[in-house]
Amino acid sequence: MQVLSVASECAPLIKTGGLADVTGALPGALAKVGVRMRTLLPGYPAVMAALSEPEAVHRFDDLFGGPAILLQAHAAGLDLLVIDAPHLFGRPGSPYQGPDGRDWPDNPERFAALSWVGAHVAAHGAGGWRPQVLHGHDWQAGFTTEYLRAMGTQDVRSVLTIHNIAFTGATDPARIPALHLDPWRFHPEGYEFYGAVSALKAGLVGADALTTVSPSYAEELMTPEFGMGLGGLMRQRRDALHGILNGIDDAAWNPATDPAIIPFATPAAKAPAKAALQAELGLPPAEGPLCVIVSRMTHQKGLDLVLETLPTLLDMGGQLAVLGSGDPGLEQAFLQAAADPMVAVRIGYDEAFSHRLIAGGDAILVPSRFEPCGLTQMYGLRYGTVPVVALTGGLADTVINASPAGLAQGVATGIQFSPVTAGALRNALIRLGVLYRDTGTWSRLQANAMAHPVGWDRSAQAYADLYAFLTDR
């Protein structure tokens, strides 16, 4: 089975969040079940620097405003196709924003170019290779099916994965000519979305199959609360929608072999990692749990609720360590909270430090208002760092609540709370404190967490089965 993955980021080459972790881990997981996946990426500076001996397989005289070369290469264990288009991707900053933190104004054209090249490879091949399935990720790959339609290609099946439906890639319809779109497709059954052009809507309408990153999120997408204006379309496409839970790279996230931490294989051996983290952050020993957060700082992530309930954690002798960036107001609020000697905050992102943070913490807080899948709670499970999570999306699918029944049956792996309010989180923190003081129960909770399967095996097989179904059909 030959599959082309079209993505705007892919770890370890370029990463802003969980999307990159998924697109980076999926090819290796799929290879174990007979699927060869190549990943098409924009040629950002970091990606171009990672390539060794790239081979040109196609040239575009004018790719949305300038010439471009499609390169075939290998890097970080991945089979890659990379779009060398400096006028679109040769820029400082993140994949989506400049150094000033503002979105690039030509993002619609930049990721339309990614979709265009994806459709071109599906239609015509590249370097003698052609996929049977085109698998796009989020709005940045949404136009691939529109372009496939325009190219008259009917023998390649298409899948679009929704990692977060909140980002629709919407833009002004005045851009239709610049985006090389068929103007007659600008209608509610096409890529029109409340008067705007939406790349995500195009993919949701046009793909043969839709997947999202957890079964619970698939159900939530069909509701007005979580569908973000697309719930009706999701209900229409119910039969094409599949909730396939994300996994994590359990080789990169392995507490027994992780080079970023003091290794450990059992909960009883976590103590040195915690002590090292406290020393690094200047936190003293404490009676209560050390809670950690690794997150984008946005309203979605519910971090304002953490600030509101922080006194509860501190009053019971707990500590908080945070790594993240995003909303300037939240960044400033957390920096102000760090005036307390029991709170440590780092603004930004550091991959190695994120490993030390999760390894050294007693609990990881994920109070998201909505969460398609979430990966940090799975990293926490892997490292025996007990997740405290909102009951939503993938958080509900990956954490077994420490309810009386869950504890009695010996299966609990974390704490869930609902609704997503400060009051409910406060109660969850109180429950955390009670469990933490009961050393026997706490050790069992940690052991259950570390034993919980969080890898890609089952999910990779589900994707392989979906590809096979589509191609057989």
pLDDT digits 0-9 by tens, 387-436: 999 999 999 999 999 999 999 999 999 999 999 999 999 999 999 999 99
Same domain for 327 and 195?
Answer: no
Same domain for 433 and 465?
Answer: no
How far is the C-alpha of 105 from the C-alpha of 377, rounded, in Å? Answer: 34
Confidence of residue 459 (pLDDT cuts 50, 70, 90): very high
Same domain for 238 and 271?
Answer: no
In a domain, 254, yes or no: no
In a domain, 252, yes or no: no
How far is the C-alpha of 122 from the C-alpha of 36, rounded, in Å? Answer: 14
**CB-based contact 289:364 (threshold 8 Å):** no
Pick from 171, 154, 165: which is nearest to 243 by CA? Answer: 165
Determine the pLDDT at residue 471: 96
Q: 69-76 — which CB contacts under 8 Å span 24+ positions?
A: 70/117, 70/121, 70/126, 71/43, 72/126, 72/127, 75/13, 75/47, 75/50, 75/51, 76/12, 76/13, 76/24, 76/50
Same domain for 286 and 237?
Answer: no
Same domain for 354 and 235?
Answer: no
In a domain, 112, yes or no: yes
Percentage with pLDDT > 90 across the chain: 98
Residues of the domain holding 241:
2-247+456-472
Same domain for 463 and 445?
Answer: no
Determine the pLDDT at residue 395: 98
Residue 15 marked as a ligand binder: yes
Same domain for 221 and 326?
Answer: no
Residues forming a β-bridge with 422: none
**What's the burial of 52, exposed, middle or buried (CB within 10 Å: 0-12/13-18/19+)?**
exposed
In a domain, 206, yes or no: yes
Percentage with pLDDT > 70 across the chain: 100
How far is the C-alpha of 241 from the C-alpha of 234, rounded, in Å? Answer: 8
pLDDT in tens, 439-451: 999 999 999 999 9
In a domain, 403, yes or no: yes
Please report the DSSP string for 92-116 in residue order. SS-SSB-TTSPBPTTHHHHHHHHHH
In a domain, 257, yes or no: no
In a domain, 260, yes or no: no
Same domain for 97 and 224?
Answer: yes
Determine the pLDDT at residue 118: 98
Pick from 438, 395, 429: which is nearest to 413 by CA? Answer: 395
pLDDT for residue 473 is more than 80: no
Both structure tokens of 416: 């869930």
Same domain for 218 and 288?
Answer: no
pLDDT in tens, 103-153: 999 999 999 999 999 999 999 999 999 999 999 999 999 999 999 999 999
CATH number, domain at 107? 3.40.50.2000
Same domain for 297 and 234?
Answer: no
Query: What is the value of pTM for the model shown?
Result: 0.93
Same domain for 353 and 238?
Answer: no
Confidence of residue 372 (pLDDT cuts 50, 70, 90): very high
Structure-token match 């046009």, residue found:
206
Q: Based on the structure, what is the number of domains in the chain? A: 2
**CB-based contact 287:357 (threshold 8 Å):** no
pLDDT for residue 17 is more than 90: no
pLDDT for residue 101 is more than 90: no
Confidence of residue 76 (pLDDT cuts 50, 70, 90): very high
Same domain for 287 and 202?
Answer: no
Which amino acid is located at 123 in the chain? Answer: A
In a domain, 262, yes or no: no
